[in-house]
Amino acid sequence: MIELLQNLGRWLTSGAQWSGPDGIATRLLEHLQYSLLATLVAAFIALPVGLLIGHTGRGAFLAINLSGFGRALPTVGLVTLVFLASGLSMWPVYVSLVALAVPVIVTNTYAGMAAVDPEVRDAARGQGMRRHQVLLQVEIPLALPLIMTGLRLACTQVVATATIAAYVSFGGLGRYVFDGLAQRDLVQVLGGAVLVAILAIALDLALASVQRLLFRHRPRPSRAA
Amino acid sequence: MNRRKLLGGLLAGASVPTLAACSGGVTSLKGDGSGGEGGGSSAGGLVIGTANFTENQLLGYLYAEALRGAGVKTSVRPNLGSREIVIPALRQGDIDLLPEYQGNLLLHFDDKAPQTQAGDLQNALTVALPTGLEALSYAAAEDKDVFCVTRETADKYGLRSFTDLKKQNGKLVFGGPAEDKNRVVGLVGLKNRYGVTFKEFKALDASGPLVKGALKKGDVDVANLFSTDPDIEANGWVILADPKALIPAQHIVPVIRSAKADTKVRKALAKLGVALTTHELARLNKLVDKDKKDPDEVAANWAADHGLTKK
């Protein structure tokens, strides 16, 4: 066990391991690229949908249940399915990562919007605000903490799952996991897994700081209450 | 079908369950006094174990049928696990007979074994197997790694064997499981023995939907498949010849506890081995995997059709 950890430490810190086309630096960048692109695309799809059903209150039942269905999709199955349909390309990877992230963002955005106090909404309308003003100046700011939580959750899940790019011969940190398993190189498998975990935590912390920056002018909930 | 799975399990943990807890059936069988010839006695009946994939289970049931036809009582314990589990079970006597594959079985006991041809492998197995175990006559059927191209690719580049690949160095894309990149039965052997290099290597799966889908669509030109994969014949794919015997032979071979190996058993399994070809085994795999038939029924029908049992 100790020996394994020592080997893992050496693997993670050796300069040779970090450089070259198979190096950690390249794989980390690939992983980051897959994850961020998939999360961004998912956000572009999911945020408008969540906002719309939250704002209008219509279609919530359908959207939430579709999201539940989406969450239940096995990612590897989806990758294989899209692979067989589209051939060897990044499509299977992106389709399944986006499909993984969309439900989380939709449900959280909707939940944030639904939690806005109807009296606040009425008051805004009573002051003569138009619908889009209510949405942009009242509802979204109030729903933002939950929306951000959805984005952070989606991002973490996507980073953890982007390892499947290696399943269909592409790069990213999953390469170490799949190659290590194939070569029965436990250190490589662990190294890949540890890097994925570190990347997921780091991205989550980064998004948390963004969230804090966004809310720095806002009183803390404890004081507001 | 997924023969390579037998090699797995190393990472899955070192626990090797003894199968003593699930003993049943066979202990109640009484000896009928025959046997004793050929080293052991099958009079008490045999327990056949199999590894955890379709083809191996099928083989277990085929052994059972062949032995039943010869008047030997058997029971089958299918789906026990990987080689790390079934071999210890055999050594401990929890099972008596196991369908195995020459090359990979030898590597299990001697990971530096250089033999690749069937006869050499069989002799090496006789030497390498631990006392109390022996390898009986091997079957015509063989489930080994084969490198395939589509008919179109074969015609376009004039590909018939690994030697022909060299003329296309740097042009073709090779697809196979991730381990192919760094092992002799893969890119390393092709380069060292045949001087073949590829434009790119795509790490996909072991004779699974990904690599076959990629070969079909032309995303890879050469694919590592298993010789008993029914899709090879169904798609008319060309298996490239291996004139320098880079890839070890993997004929199906029964491994048995010597205590149970008498002439009756040896002959019955040898007879099965003569009738069972790679083509037939691929066909049986398809009946179970694609057509969802029960492996024991498939085995019973096949054995009856080939005169191993009475209809």
**Cβ neighbours of A182 in B, within 8 Å:** 177-179, 203
**Cβ neighbours of A166 in B, within 8 Å:** 178, 203
Smallest CA–CA distance from A178 into chain B, residue: B178
pLDDT band for position B172 (cuts 50, 70, 90): very high
Q: Say if the Cβ atoms of A88 and B202 lie within 8 Å.
A: yes
**Cβ neighbours of B179 in A, within 8 Å:** 182-183
Cα(B174)–Cα(B240) distance, rounded to whole angstroms? 13
Give the per-residue pLDDT at A221: 56
Residues sharing a CB contact under 8 Å with residue B84, sequence separation 6 or more, in sequence order: B9, B10, B14, B16
> Is the confidence at residue A4, as pLDDT, over 60?
yes
CATH superfamily of B3-142+249-305: Periplasmic binding protein-like II (3.40.190.10)
How many Cβ atoms are within 10 Å of A215's Cβ, its own excluded? 14
Smallest CA–CA distance from A185 into chain B, residue: B11
Give the per-residue pLDDT at A73: 87
Nearest CB among A80, A183, A189 relative to B209 is that of: A80
Find out whether B274 and B307 touch, Cβ atoms under 8 Å. Answer: no
Give the per-residue pLDDT at A13: 92
> Is the confidence at residue B234, as pLDDT, over 50?
yes
Domain with CATH 3.40.190.120 in chain B: 145-239
Average pLDDT, stretch B218-239? Answer: 96
| Chain B closest-CA separation from residue A88 CA (Å) | 6
Could you read off the pLDDT of B31-45 as tens digits, one per residue? 444 444 557 899 899
pLDDT band for position B24 (cuts 50, 70, 90): very low
- Which has the closest alpha carbon to B38: B153, B137, B144? B137
- For chain A, domains (ranges, CATH) are 2-11+19-224 (1.10.3720.10)
Give the per-residue pLDDT at A20: 87
Q: What letter does residue A111 receive in the DSSP assignment?
A: H
Q: Which long-range contacts (CB under 8 A, 24 or more apart) does B108-111 make?
A: B108/B7, B108/B83
Per-window interface: A 186-215 vs B, CB < 8 A: 186, 189
Give the per-residue pLDDT at A60: 86
Chains A, B: CB pairs < 8 Å = 45
Which residue in this structure is represented by tokens 């109640």? Answer: B28
Could you read off the pLDDT of A7-49 as tens digits, one per residue? 999 999 998 899 888 899 999 999 999 999 999 999 999 999 9
Per the model's pLDDT, the better-predicted residue between B103 and B2 turns out to be B103
> Is the confidence at residue B2, as pLDDT, over 80?
no
- Which has the closest alpha carbon to B19: B76, B58, B104, B101? B76
**Cβ neighbours of A189 in B, within 8 Å:** 11
Q: What is the mean pLDDT of chain A?
A: 91
Could you read off the pLDDT of A45-87 as tens digits, one per residue? 999 999 999 988 888 888 888 888 888 889 999 999 999 999 9
Cα(B147)–Cα(B207) distance, rounded to whole angstroms? 10
**Cβ neighbours of B184 in A, within 8 Å:** none
Average pLDDT, stretch B56-85? Answer: 94
Tokens matching residue A217: 């002018």
Give the per-residue pLDDT at B6: 52
Q: Among A90, A93, A167, A169, which would you mutate to test the B interface (most chain B Cβ atoms within 10 Å of its Cβ)?
A: A169
Identity of the amino acid at A181: L
Average pLDDT, stretch A139-166? Answer: 94
Cα(A30)–Cα(A165) distance, rounded to whole angstroms? 10
Smallest CA–CA distance from B202 into chain A, residue: A169
pLDDT band for position A202 (cuts 50, 70, 90): very high
- Which has the closest alpha carbon to B240: B147, B116, B152, B141? B147
- Report the complex ipTM: 0.79
Q: What is the three-class DSSP state of B59?
A: helix
Angle at B111 between CA B107 and CA B115, to 5 degrees: 65
- Which has the closest alpha carbon to B3: B224, B213, B256? B224
A88: number of CA atoms within 13 Å, CB side?
A: 26
CATH of domain B145-239: 3.40.190.120
pLDDT band for position A218 (cuts 50, 70, 90): low
Give the per-residue pLDDT at A71: 81
Give the per-residue pLDDT at A211: 86
- As to burial, measured by CB atoms within 10 angstroms (0-12 exposed, 13-18 middle, 19+ buried), residue A45 is middle
Model-level pTM? 0.80
Give the per-residue pLDDT at A222: 52
Q: What is the three-class DSSP state of A8?
A: helix
Domain with CATH 3.40.190.10 in chain B: 3-142+249-305
Smallest CA–CA distance from B218 into chain A, residue: A87
Q: What is the three-class DSSP state of B238?
A: strand
Give the per-residue pLDDT at A56: 87
